[in-house]
């Protein structure tokens, strides 16, 4: 386990990512896995109780490393080729494309509210104003979704999304894959001796 | 005179809430010409252009290149009429520029290789080939507009419809857009409030008022007749 941890930390540093921030972010999974670890501990399987949080932390670290170093379109393509449901991938794709646009819109609304005194008053009126802003944002997002659908129809969309498969396996990918499989395997064999 | 590429007769359309948006529109567009659609907000211009590739269906006839705009003809009609929407963010929905521009050709049944070739060609035509692998979110307003036009050009349309194409563009962006549109040989319909742009691009104009075409003529004639200037 320690070897895997150092391998992942080394990869994080190699990718020039902030190690401390990544470790903290990966630790988000610990409260959840700790619950299951407690159950395992109470049932008397100490080894599993230690294994659950450690494995979940390492998995989260691995996922963060992939997400932070790979463009989302490539991740989605990889998930598609692994057989992930197409509809889920489409939702993620659209979410990724429009999340920033909606966030920008929310920022503009916040700024406009601030210019006119912000969400002033007590907690109750603040909550009311924020709820109103959220409703407007939802309305705008819905309108945008309608607009996007029209734009898709205008370019021949018939309900079936056809995508380009531009991904090509290159020599560097083969080298990476070999290393990614061989190194943990070597750790595993080494630990077994 | 050649046959019109778009022929509209007696078009009416009422929204679900009862608002009469179009109230008997007669309109012809001839090959190679550019017509500006002028008029106040809510006068029916955008509703009208959405009928031209079957995004809305009103009563009476809309004929595109000899094809009635009915459900059976929609794939061909949508290939022939390319619509560039006012908000480019709504038009650029794929993760990368290449994938977005290739979206239309793929829907036409082209293979991925052919779609990529088409996308590259139309991005070059629109002068934005350098953005091929960028995310649309990271482009400027002018670049987004060019990519949106490339997405439509990739379908090799006979007619281009542009809804408020100068919105969000700075003056250099507007100049570049004008130069680009002048190069394109297709017949064009341009919905605009920008009279300078309309004068520069349109060979004639029609003025929408309360869901009807109130007048037709040159941009200058309509501007002076309807006092349609900001200063």
The phi, psi pair for A21, rounded to 5°, reads: -65, -40
Residue with token string 């005194």: A117
The three-point CA angle A177-A182-A183 to 5° equals 105
**Contact between B78 and A154 using a beta-carbon 8 Å cutoff:** yes
More confident residue, B12 or A169: B12
DSSP three-state, residue B25: strand
| Chain A residue numbers touching B93 (CB-CB < 8 A) | 94, 97-98, 148, 151-152
β-bridge mates for residue B83, sequence order:
B161
- Give the whole-angstrom CA distance, residue A129 versus residue B34: 47
- Distance from B194 to chain A by nearest Cα, in Å? 23
The phi, psi pair for A16, rounded to 5°, reads: 60, 40
Show the tokens assigned to B20. 């009469």
Residue A81: its pLDDT value, please? Answer: 82
**Contact between B95 and A150 using a beta-carbon 8 Å cutoff:** no
Helices (H) and strands (E) in chain B, counts: 9, 10
For chains A and B, what is the number of CB pairs under 8 angstroms?
A: 80
Torsion over CA: A4, A9, A10, A16 (sign): positive
- Edge-first strand order for the sheet with B6-14 is B20-29, B6-14, B59-64, B67-68
Residue B159: its pLDDT value, please? Answer: 96
B145 touches chain A (CB under 8 A): no
Residues in chain B: 231
A148 touches chain B (CB under 8 A): yes
CA distances from B206 to A145, A170, B63, B180 (A): 31, 56, 19, 23
Residues of chain A scoring pLDDT < 70? 119-121, 165-167, 192-193
Cβ-count burial A16-46 (b if 16+ within 10 Å, e if not) = eeeeeebbeebeebeeebeeebeebeeeeee
> Contact at 8 Å (CB) between B189 and B30?
no
| Chain B residue numbers touching A158 (CB-CB < 8 A) | 75, 107
Residue B231: its pLDDT value, please? Answer: 64
Question: What is the rounded (10 degree) CA torsion for B125, B129, B135, B139?
Answer: -80
Residue B101: enclosing H or E segment and its boundaries?
Answer: helix B97-107
In chain B, how long is the greatest CA-to-CA distance? 52
CA distances from B203 to A127, A162, B215, B222 (A): 54, 38, 15, 13
In chain A, how long is the greatest CA-to-CA distance? 70
CB < 8 Å from A in window 78-97 of B: 78-79, 82-83, 85, 87, 89-91, 93-96
Nearest to B81 by CA among B128, B49, B116, B106: B49
| Chain A residue numbers touching B114 (CB-CB < 8 A) | none
Which of B55, B75, B135 is closest, CB to CB, to A156? B75
- Give the whole-angstrom CA distance, residue A132 versus residue A11: 45
More confident residue, A158 or B161: B161
Which residues have CB under 8 Å from A129's CB, separation 6+?
A113, A119, A121
The 8-class DSSP code of residue B158 comes to S
Helices (H) and strands (E) in chain A, counts: 8, 0
Residue A42: its pLDDT value, please? Answer: 86
Question: What is the rounded (10 degree) CA torsion for A69, A72, A78, A80?
Answer: 160
Q: How is chain A split into domains, by residue range? A: 2-69+168-192, 77-154
> Contact at 8 Å (CB) between B197 and B191?
no
| Chain A residue numbers touching B56 (CB-CB < 8 A) | none
Residue B148: its pLDDT value, please? Answer: 95
**Contact between A154 and B112 using a beta-carbon 8 Å cutoff:** no
Residue B23 has pLDDT above 90, yes or no: yes
In chain B, the domains with their CATH numbers are 6-225 (3.40.50.300)
Provide the angle, in degrees to the nearest 10, between the axes of the packed helices A72-81 and A86-115: 160
β-bridge mates for residue B169, sequence order:
none
- Distance from A125 to chain B by nearest Cα, in Å? 33
Residue B55: its pLDDT value, please? Answer: 92
Mean residue pLDDT of chain B comes to 92
> Contact at 8 Å (CB) between B83 and B32?
no
- Predicted confidence (pLDDT) per residue in B112-153, tens digit: 999 999 999 999 999 899 999 888 888 998 999 999 999 999
B177-205 average pLDDT score = 94
The 8-class DSSP code of residue B3 comes to P
Residue B4 has pLDDT above 90, yes or no: yes
Residue of B nearest to A75 (CA): B95
Residue of A nearest to B87 (CA): A147
**Contact between B95 and A162 using a beta-carbon 8 Å cutoff:** no
If DSSP states are collapsed to H, E and C, what string results for A68-136? HHCCHHHHHHHHHHCCCCHHHHHHHHHHHHHHHHHHHHHHHHHHHHHHCCCCCCCHHHHHHHHHHHHHH
- Give the whole-angstrom CA distance, residue B215 versus residue B208: 8
Residue B7: enclosing H or E segment and its boundaries?
Answer: strand B6-14
Residue B230: its pLDDT value, please? Answer: 65
Question: What is the rounded (10 degree) CA torsion for A55, A61, A62, A65?
Answer: 180
| Chain B residue numbers touching A153 (CB-CB < 8 A) | 55, 78
**Contact between B93 and A94 using a beta-carbon 8 Å cutoff:** yes
A152 touches chain B (CB under 8 A): yes
């Amino acid at each position: 386990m320690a070897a895997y941890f150092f391998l992942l930390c080394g990869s994080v540093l190699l990718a020039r990512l902030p190690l401390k921030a990544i470790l903290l972010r990966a630790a988000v999974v610990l409260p959840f896995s700790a619950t299951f670890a407690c159950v395992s501990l109470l049932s008397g399987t100490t080894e599993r109780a230690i294994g659950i949080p450690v494995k979940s932390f390492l998995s989260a670290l691995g996922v963060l490393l992939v997400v932070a170093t790979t463009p989302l379109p490539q991740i989605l393509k990889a998930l598609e080729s692994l057989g992930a449901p197409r509809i889920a991938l489409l939702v993620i794709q659209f979410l990724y494309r429009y999340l920033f646009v909606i966030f920008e819109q929310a920022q503009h609304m916040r700024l406009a509210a601030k210019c006119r005194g912000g969400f002033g008053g007590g907690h109750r009126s603040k909550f009311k104003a924020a709820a109103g802003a959220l409703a407007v944002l939802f309305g705008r997002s819905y309108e945008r979704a309608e607009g996007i659908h029209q734009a898709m129809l205008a370019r021949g969309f018939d309900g079936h999304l056809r995508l380009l498969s531009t991904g090509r396996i290159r020599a560097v990918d083969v080298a990476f894959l070999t290393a990614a499989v061989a190194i943990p395997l070597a750790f595993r064999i080494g630990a077994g001796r | 005179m050649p046959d019109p590429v778009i022929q509209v007769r007696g078009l009416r359309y009422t929204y679900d809430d009862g608002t009469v948006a179009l109230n008997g529109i007669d309109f012809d567009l001839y090959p190679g010409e550019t017509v500006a659609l002028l008029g106040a907000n809510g006068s029916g211009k955008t509703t009208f252009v959405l009928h031209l590739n079957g995004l809305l269906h009103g009563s009476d006839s809309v004929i595109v290149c000899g094809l009635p705009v009915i459900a059976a003809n929609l794939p061909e009609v949508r290939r022939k009429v390319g619509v560039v929407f006012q908000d480019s963010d709504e038009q650029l929905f794929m993760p990368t520029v290449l994938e977005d521009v290739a979206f239309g050709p793929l829907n036409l049944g082209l293979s991925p290789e052919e779609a990529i070739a088409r996308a590259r060609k139309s991005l070059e035509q629109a002068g934005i080939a350098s953005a091929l692998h960028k995310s649309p979110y990271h482009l400027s307003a002018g670049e987004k507009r060019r990519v949106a036009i490339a997405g439509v050009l990739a379908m090799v349309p006979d007619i281009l419809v542009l809804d408020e194409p100068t919105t969000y563009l700075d003056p250099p962006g507007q100049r570049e857009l004008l130069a680009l549109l002048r190069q394109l040989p297709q017949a064009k319909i341009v919905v605009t409030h920008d009279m300078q742009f309309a004068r520069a691009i349109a060979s004639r104009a029609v003025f929408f008022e309360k869901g009807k075409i109130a007048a037709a003529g040159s941009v200058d004639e309509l501007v002076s007749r309807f006092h349609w200037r900001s200063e």
